[in-house]
Amino acid sequence: MTHVLVTGGAGFIGSHVTASLVAAGHSVRVLDSGHPAAHRASLPSIVAESPVTIADVRDPDAVARMLRGVDVVVHQAAMVGMGVDLGDLPAYVGNNDLGTAVLLAEMARAGVRRLVLASSMVVYGEGAYRCPTHGPRRPRPRSAAALEAGDFEPTCIDCGAPLTSVLTSECAPLEPRSVYAATKVAQEHLAAAWARQSGGSVVALRYHNVYGPGMPRDTPYSGVAAIFRSALEAGRPARVFEDGRQRRDFVHVTDVARANVLAVEAGVAGMAAYNIASGRPVTVGEMAEALTGVMGGPPPVVTGESRLGDVRHVVASPQRAADELGFRATIDIAAGMADFARAALR
């Protein structure tokens, strides 16, 4: 039996991870700050039979106490999503990067040498692309003027031709294009430096678009699936930005939780990153249609609106996670959305 500390273990993904670890026979304790971006009610005292300590991961004394007797840390605690505006920048950096730094420092002092880090596909910025003439290309960030004109698709930096989206592997360059993305890249870099200096191991799980029971609803930090569902419950259509053809990989939270269990049980040395994705990408418009089809309500409305921090296409290759962790997602978008339509939200 492995003794596991789950930071953020009372949150959306963290509570599923905690439950899956317990079901797999591990001993789990939870540290969670109850941040209002993720929680609108008081935290429970227990999640999946595991005690919850309400404390901030930036508090070194609290972290030190929680690390006693721990074999591995699963670090889920973070502010997520696009946020409201740049006024959120200090909160993102404080919670995500300073919090991770404090955790890593206390792990080094306590002699805890194994970390599973909740990372994200946002570290890539845009996904991988190919030009028909020039081969693999990284597009420049999309400009506000192009987005306002409805020019959503990235083009080749050499010839201006439309690029084709292809699968993104873990060796793709990291190019964050939002504040949240920058903090996730920093978390990975901090963890990599910690692993080198401490002799520890890090498994960074780059989650793609996670959805499922317990998602926070109606906040600027909610995922797009929760935003669409809240609209449908209120009798409004899902409002799909851009032209609805932006491609994502939506992965159910129970698959994500299982990936964390596999990471805890894996014998990874040094630092390794893995795409945690379904391997079956869809467009955001198709996801909205699938959810609307299950829930009923008015059909999705494609608005043409855009956000400068958004990227166009990010679809992943989950092959490395399959080969090295034994992870394969089991829930497709149809079954996942049918479950999500009925599930309780946070």
How many structural domains are present in the chain?
Answer: 1
Pairing label, strands 27-32, 50-54: parallel
d(CA 274, CA 280): 16
Q: Is the pLDDT of residue 188 over 90?
A: yes
User: Is residue 153 in a domain?
Assistant: no
What residues are paired with 275 via a beta bridge?
206
d(CA 210, CA 276): 9
**Mean pLDDT value of segment 94-118:** 98
Q: Is the pLDDT of residue 219 over 70?
A: no
Q: Is the pLDDT of residue 320 over 70?
A: yes
Q: List alpha helices for the chain, DSSP H.
A: 12-23, 60-67, 89-92, 99-110, 144-148, 179-198, 224-233, 253-265, 284-295, 319-325, 333-342
User: Is residue 16 in a domain?
Assistant: yes
User: Is residue 194 in a domain?
Assistant: yes
Structure token digits, residue 150: 């409805």
d(CA 213, CA 253): 8
> Helices (H), strands (E): how many in the chain?
11, 17
Query: What is the residue-averaged pLDDT of the chain?
Result: 94
User: Is residue 152 in a domain?
Assistant: no
* CATH number for 68: 3.40.50.720
User: Is residue 331 in a domain?
Assistant: yes
pLDDT tens digit sequence for 118-155: 999 999 999 999 999 999 999 999 999 999 999 999 99
User: Is residue 158 in a domain?
Assistant: no
User: Is residue 119 in a domain?
Assistant: yes
d(CA 179, CA 80): 10
Domain that holds residue 93: 3-128+166-342
pTM exceeds 0.85: yes
In percent, the amount of the chain with pLDDT more than 70 equals 98
d(CA 299, CA 8): 35
Nearest to 154 by CA among 164, 166, 167: 164
What per-residue confidence (pLDDT) applies to 223? 83
Check if the beta carbon of residue 73 is closer than 8 Å to that of residue 99.
Answer: no
**Mean pLDDT value of segment 330-338:** 95
User: Is residue 266 in a domain?
Assistant: yes
